[in-house]
Amino acid sequence: MSAAVLEMSAGPPVAERLAAFARVTTDDVDEAAEQVGRIFCPHDLKPAQARASGFSARHNCAAFDGFSINYVGYGGTVSIDPGCLDRFFLVQIPLTGTAHISAGTSGFDVEPVRTASLLSPTIPTRMVWADCAQIILLLDRRMVEQRAAALSGRAVGTVEFDPVIDLNASGGRGLRARLDELMTFAERLGPSGRMSPVAMAHRREALLDGLLNGQQHDLSDAIRTFSGHAERLPRALRAARGYLSDNADEPLDLVELARAAGIGIRALQLGFRRHFGVSISEMLLDMRLASLNARLAQASSDVSITDIAFDLGFTHLGRMAGAYRDKFGETPSATLRRRMS
């Protein structure tokens, strides 16, 4: 790797990360564009100087189920134009150097310790990196959209994030800490190591939680409301929502639910419609579907979808499968096959 990547102008040298996971090491622009494009997506890569003086590229990648952690460094100044990412979300945290990011109509600079970026797959992106090395988290688009649907009570659809991450805000600090921990874990594990399914699921859940609850996006308000965390949500409805969540695998008992909330059944029904936008039974169904999706995301190869469904309180498997397909855009068995692939 050239000294340009390791000895950037902004601050002291930063050690290369994930060195044992090297995928691309080259001083050739065309080779870098082709090889990095195979791992991420096809893109235009152009050095600022016609002869690419001082250009170098380094890409190290530790891939897991549904996500990967990457170290990418470019020596010199380069423009990168991937357009829409389409298949994945990217969290990019600069270690050295600087970069200018254009995401849709937004344009902003990122630099170590202060600002990072979060690129959504449906928003056109262009970047200019100046002697820049970044840690990049790639997250499968379908996985993020399904989890957003589970948390918000909505059907699966596009999710678009605020592309600017303030690394000094609580959400940005938490996301950076998760990426640091994941990167260190991958380095200790090494290319030949294997993460257990339970550990894989735990880390995947932590990343999704940090992303969807720590960074603003177009479903943030819906998630806060549906989870009962909206600031103006009446205390009785927060209590009812919590009771429903704690007892989601049991048959719905409106009398007990109203007693837990401290208000009458009719007031409770009207409150759910007004504040959550769904009926009590609709919210219960969505909680069960979200739990089923999360259980399938952690499932082993010998799991029984029927057993999980009954454990979660479903009594009619055909209706369950239809509701799951309406919400997540695929059958439970399709979700399980994709997790096992």
* Domain-terminating residue out of 218, 247, 275: 218
pLDDT reported for residue 123 = 97
Q: What is the mean pLDDT of residues 88-113?
A: 96
203, 305: one domain: no
CATH of the domain at 230: 1.10.10.60
How far is it, in rounded angstroms, from Cα 70 to Cα 136?
A: 5
Predicted confidence (pLDDT) per residue in 141-195, tens digit = 999 999 999 888 889 999 999 999 999 999 899 999 999 999 999 999 999 988 8
How far is it, in rounded angstroms, from Cα 73 to Cα 3?
A: 11
260, 211: one domain: no
Q: What is the mean pLDDT of residues 99-111?
A: 96
Instruction: Please state the separation of Cα 35 from the chain's center in Å.
Output: 24
pLDDT reported for residue 294 = 87
Reported as half-sphere exposure (CB side, CA atoms, 13 A), residue 224 has a value of: 14
Specify the number of domains making up the chain: 2
* Domain-terminating residue out of 183, 218, 253: 218
Dihedral angle of Cα 244, 246, 251, 254, to the nearest 10 degrees: -30
Do residues 4 and 76 touch, judged by C-beta distance below 8 A?
yes
7, 151: one domain: yes
Task: Work out the pLDDT band at 335, boundaries 50, 70, 90.
Answer: confident
55, 190: one domain: yes
Q: Domain range holding 121?
A: 3-218
Q: What is the pTM of this model?
A: 0.81
Token reading at 115: 């600002």
**332, pLDDT greater than 50:** yes
How far is it, in rounded angstroms, from Cα 88 to Cα 40?
A: 9
pLDDT reported for residue 3 = 37
106, 162: one domain: yes
Instruction: Please state the separation of Cα 278 from the chain's center in Å.
Output: 26
217: phi then psi, degrees, rounded to nearest 5:
-150, 180
Identify the CA nearest to 91 among candidates 11, 14, 177, 23.
177
Task: Specify the pairing of strand 88-103 against strand 125-140.
Answer: antiparallel
Predicted confidence (pLDDT) per residue in 43-83, tens digit = 999 998 755 568 999 999 999 989 999 999 999 999 999 99
* Domain-terminating residue out of 218, 253, 288: 218
Identify the CA nearest to 24 among candidates 157, 176, 164, 136.
136
Q: Coil, strand, or helix at residue 172? A: helix
pLDDT reported for residue 194 = 85
136, 187: one domain: yes
Task: Specify the pairing of strand 88-103 against strand 44-47.
Answer: unpaired
Do residues 237 and 261 touch, judged by C-beta distance below 8 A?
yes
Q: Burial level of 329, CB count in 10 A (0-12/13-18/19+)?
A: middle
145, 28: one domain: yes
**313, pLDDT greater than 50:** yes
Mean pLDDT over each residue of the chain, to the nearest integer: 89
CATH of the domain at 99: 2.60.120.10
Lowest mean pLDDT among 185-189, 192-196, 225-229, 234-238: 225-229
**278, pLDDT greater than 50:** yes
Q: Burial level of 196, CB count in 10 A (0-12/13-18/19+)?
A: exposed
Of the spans 51-55, 193-197, 215-219, 330-334, which averages the highest pLDDT? Answer: 215-219
pLDDT reported for residue 34 = 95
Token reading at 131: 């002697």
